[in-house]
Amino acid sequence: MNIRTALLGIVGTALLSSAALAATDTNHPANRQQMADRCATLESQYQSAIASHQGTNTFDRAEGLGSAGTTECQSDQGAMGAQKLEQALADLGVKPVD
């Protein structure tokens, strides 16, 4: 009886932990998609802003941040990429669109 109880406990635990892992995995694509959308919005805004701010004091810094942010967004590091794009826009005096 004790072996049967122990086996049922192990099987039950394994099933519950598998279900919990499967539930958390379904949330990631939505988060990635939202971050990809955010990156695309910021990249578009950055491209528009950088063209009209050439020659300003902060242009070189903003250009570097924008380039790095775009690269990070494209390499699945969206949070860091979005942050750099937002900073590039701020350096250009442009408020990022939400």
State percent of the chain over pLDDT 90.
Answer: 52
Residue-level pLDDT at 80 = 94
Residue 89: partners with Cβ closer than 8 Å, 6 or more residues away:
42, 45, 46, 49, 62, 95, 96
| Domain locations in the chain as residue ranges | 28-91
Per residue in 75-97, pLDDT tens? 989 999 999 999 999 999 999 98
From residue 90, alpha-carbon distances to 2, 20, 83 in Å are: 66, 41, 10
Residue-level pLDDT at 14 = 64
